[in-house]
Amino acid sequence: MSDSLARPILFVLNSGFPDYSGGRENWLFHVATRLAQRGHDVRILSMARYGGQPPHYDLGNAVRLYRIRSWLHTLPGQLATPGPLAVLRILSVVPRFHGFLRRRACRWQPRPIVVGLDTVVAPLAMRGLERELIFVCASKGPHAEVLAEHAPWLASWLRRTEIRAFRDCRELWSNGDDMRAAIQAQGFDSVLIGNGVDTAAARRPRACPPEYGTDRSRFRLAMAGSLLDIKGVPNAVRALGLVSDPAQRRRMDMFFVGKGDPRRYAALAAACGVGAQIHFLGARQDVFPYLQHADLLLGLSGGGGMSMAALESLAAGVPLLAWDTPVYRQLVVAGQTGWLVPAADVHALARGIVRAMALPAAERRRMGERAAESVRAYDWERVVDHVETRLHHMGGQEHPAHAPEGNATT
């Protein structure tokens, strides 16, 4: 757009951004920095983290960053990772966020648009300020549902909090077809604001990573993302062990690119008889060399929304083998840009790997080219165009326009 929005745009994120990296953090970095480059007044409210880790993202000087100290900033807060304590740790930042919004953001002129990147913490922090601030609730995944898994006795309250957020926000954004359908099933409309990918960077040729070696007779599988069960790491390891032909299996190498502790998964690989073929490379600032030089990429997340790892995989020009779930169905054209197999079926996954390996390399390359072409619509510049359009739409409205109960404005 030609004119920058006069209102400040304040993104609220309950994480240690920019020190911590993840799906929401990656989305925020790309959207916030591009909005700032277009002349918008962009600000971010996040949490300070214990230990002062170096920033993962470089925001430059164009984005203002406000960081709140909370229980998360203490050593006990860092140790409170399992189960219910993790939920309490997350919720502990709500009073501090609310105080910042009430004492500072409410005094900004013109009043800001607040974009909360979850459906629980940011809405709780906004409680009572809906008429003072223009609030956008961005559903980046099933937040209430995930928190309730760790603290089941809070499930009803978390659900009510999320429904109230859907009802009271100025606009509701969903992060994928599956999230939009889930929100619609509850009686609310939403605007689809998906993830993005830097398509030019994804296709810029890189040298083959040294970890991949030089033997091109080997079949390289790769998966990008954190080392977590919900990301499908155990399923990928087990599937490799289930490849029935020992000669085929010995020609395969599987690479995991992402942060996390690999020891439990390395033990599983050894138990499955593929310990020598499973490689945990850790986090990498640039994942595209590892994606570009793979023969097949895997998408096995059990989460929701639009998978950023899937977008990056497709943009790298390599076929994607993924679960047949809404997360991947919205991106993968089966038989054209990759393959879909029944979710959590490791035997079907093993057969899919063998089928992809049997395909001539030239055909896989053609599938990869189609994959790269298919995600051009998700380039970050187009995503930011859409965000900018929605912000301009709300910036011209002076008073909240809440939908009737059971509906959210779009």
Average model confidence (pLDDT) for the chain? Answer: 89
pLDDT at 181 over 80: yes
| Amino acid 9: pLDDT | 96
Contact 341, 323 (CB under 8 A): yes
Q: What is the pLDDT averaged over residues 2-21? A: 84
Percentage of the chain modeled with pLDDT above 70: 90
Burial class (CB in 10 A: 0-12, 13-18, 19+), 343: middle
- How far, in Å, are 33, 209, 286, 339, 373 from residue 333 at the CA level? 31, 28, 26, 7, 12
pLDDT at residue number 352? 98
pLDDT band at 53 (very low <50, low <70, confident <90, very high): low
Domain with CATH 3.40.50.2000 in the chain: 9-196+380-395, 199-378
The residue ranking higher by pLDDT, 366 or 131, is 366
Is the dihedral angle over the CA atoms 143, 237, 21, 296 positive or is it negative? negative
CATH hierarchy code of domain 9-196+380-395: 3.40.50.2000
Question: Largest Cα–Cα distance in the chain?
Answer: 68
This prediction has a pTM of 0.89
Q: How many residues comprise the chain?
A: 410
Q: Each residue of 355-407: pLDDT tens digit? A: 999 999 999 999 999 999 999 999 999 999 999 999 998 876 443 333 333 33
CATH tag for 199-378 (out of 3.50.50.60, 1.10.357.10, 3.90.1170.50, 3.40.50.2000): 3.40.50.2000
- Find, among 115, 127, 166, the residue nearest to 144 by Cα: 166
* DSSP string across 15-46: S-TTTS-SHHHHHHHHHHHHHHHTT--EEEEE
